[in-house]
Amino acid sequence: MNDEKFLRLTTLYLEDAIGTGDLESLNRELSNSPDRVRQFNDLRLLTGLIHEHGRAVESGNAADLETDIPSESPDFDPSVVESKRNTASQFQFAQRALALVVLATAASLFVFLIWSDTEPPRDGGVPAIATVEYTSHARWGGEERVLGDRLGEGKLHLETGLARLDFLNGATVTLQGPAEFEILSTYKTVLTSGILTASIPESAVGFEVLTPAMDVVDLGTAFGVSVGGDGETDVCVFEGEVEVSLAEVKDTPQLVREGNAVRSRPNADSIDTVDYSTERYEDAWPVTSGVLQATGLMKFVSPGPNFVPGRCEDSERILVFHERSQVLLRSDLKVNVTEPGQYIRVRRRNKQAIAAGHLIRSYLLQLNPIGEFTRGETDGARVIGQITFDRPILGLIGGTTHLIRTDELLGHPLGDYGDTRRGIEPTRPDDLPDSGRDNVALSRDRRTLSLDLSASSAVDQIRVVVAEQP
């Protein structure tokens, strides 16, 4: 959707004049683009302020200014009626003028918002294309890079560590050093050596990664690219699909779907299918998907055909599954926890909810011990861990009923959640410190979750709902 159409639909929505078809188009655009959500909210705020402080009449409306005095009344005075009508006409003119002011101001703000996405970096050079959003033990060759640096066209040499780049079109790319990377434009990059993982929303479909052996064109997906010292290139598709073609050869692109991987060498005449394996991307992919750190006995599970949470058994680690991204809540979402602090079970109906309109993503944390346990057994598994996300946590879902009800909306499309008992048994207010129940606590900044889980007959699962925007 182009900018002009988006502004028109937003204006119709704000004037309560949007039709069903246009409303569906606007919802689709908002669900696929965090930038559009930000622009929509800014325009809505501006319109509200103008309506609140710029009214032509403090109270009432044009209809209130019309007279109801019948012409046959003894008190009928034509001059009074004409005066009332003139006032009503002036009011309606003021309303129309106000609407034009709102539209013109909104258009000006919208243009500003669009152009602000290409503001120059801090060094005053070419317009910025991406931002350094996160680093871990990163050491750069050449020019030093720090968090918040805005990057334009140019080369990057990451000697060691991890660095996440958030592109202004919505694409997220994490480099794992040693890596040689170059930004050619908003939609085109080069990986000469090293490891890269990328998550590409609909707003950035067509994003390209060129390598010495292959050209990779995204079709709306998540994938990994690995380039060795000799230029040998592996492409592994986590979600969705990509097109690959031999470098500098005008041949028909080859489609690679999720759960598949391919490999080629420079100057080769073919692209070969290889076994799907995400092992080399296990450090970079969590950062791309929004998990900045996981400590203790926690393991991030890469997406793909083996995404079957209910059937993954591990007695020693809490498994972390990335489920959904870019989900726009069209109605309030009921959850078990929305506030920081300890997740404590209380004997009352839970009425906590995340309000409609939020753009969210979801993760599933699971402890599922190996083997079979009866309901009465207590000799299960206990695991402690901590996980930190790049965005605030809006809510936690740990009850069986809420988990099942949100599987369709927030569960991974390939996920097999099984029919076993699920959820956690949170601490109760009167529990002793070593009660054996599950202990979950959300930090004050809403980004870190601490877990102490004990599981035996049931699968311990908790769904984490995270905001897509800071």
Q: Is the pLDDT of residue 137 over 80?
A: yes
Mean pLDDT of the chain: 79
| pLDDT attached to residue 371 | 62
pLDDT range class, residue 379, cuts 50, 70, 90: low
**321 Cα distance to chain centroid:** 15
Q: Is the pLDDT of residue 29 over 50?
A: yes
First to last CA, the chain: 24
| pLDDT attached to residue 351 | 67
Beta bridge partner(s), residue 131: 150, 166
251-275 mean pLDDT: 94
Report the C-alpha gap between 359 and 325 in whole angstroms. 9
Report the C-alpha gap between 169 and 154 in whole angstroms. 17
Report the C-alpha gap between 382 and 373 in whole angstroms. 14
| pLDDT attached to residue 318 | 92
95: enclosing H helix or E strand: helix 78-116
Per-residue DSSP letter, 72: T
| pLDDT attached to residue 27 | 73
Q: Is the pLDDT of residue 285 over 70?
A: yes
DSSP-derived 3-state class of residue 449:
strand
pLDDT range class, residue 386, cuts 50, 70, 90: very high
Domain boundary assignment for the chain: 3-116, 130-281, 290-467
pLDDT above 90 covers a percentage of the chain that reads 47
Q: Which residue has the higher pLDDT, 375 or 422?
A: 422
| pLDDT attached to residue 343 | 83
Q: Which residue has the higher pLDDT, 440 or 105?
A: 440
DSSP-derived 3-state class of residue 11:
helix
Q: Could you tell me which CATH number the domain at 130-281 has?
A: 2.60.120.1440
DSSP string, 145-167: --TT-EE-SEEEEEEEEEEEEEE
Report the C-alpha gap between 210 and 188 in whole angstroms. 8
Which of 115-129, 273-287, 337-351 is the most confident on average? 273-287
| pLDDT attached to residue 426 | 77
Lowest-pLDDT choice from 146-160, 339-353, 356-370: 339-353
| pLDDT attached to residue 42 | 67
Position 394: which residue type?
L
Report the C-alpha gap between 357 and 352 in whole angstroms. 16
Report the C-alpha gap between 209 and 232 in whole angstroms. 14
| pLDDT attached to residue 188 | 97
pLDDT above 70 covers a percentage of the chain that reads 72
- Tokens (6 digits) for 212: 């010495």
Q: Is the pLDDT of residue 249 over 50?
A: yes
| pLDDT attached to residue 155 | 95
What does the pLDDT look like over 6-22, one tens digit per residue?
888 888 777 777 777 77
Locus of tokens 């690219």: 225
- Is 21 exposed, middle or buried, given 0-12, 13-18 or 19+ CB atoms closer than 10 A? exposed
What does the pLDDT look like over 437-467, one tens digit per residue?
788 999 999 999 999 988 766 788 999 999 9
- CB proximity list for 407: less than 8 A, separation 6 or greater: 415, 417
Largest Cα–Cα distance in the chain? 101
Contact between residue 252 and residue 271 where contact means Cβ atoms under 8 Å apart: no
- Of 165, 111, 167, whose CA–CA distance to 138 is shortest? 165
Q: Is the pLDDT of residue 405 over 80?
A: yes
What does the pLDDT look like over 148-176, one tens digit per residue?
999 999 999 999 999 999 999 999 999 99
**Half-sphere CA count of 147, side-chain side, radius 13 A:** 6
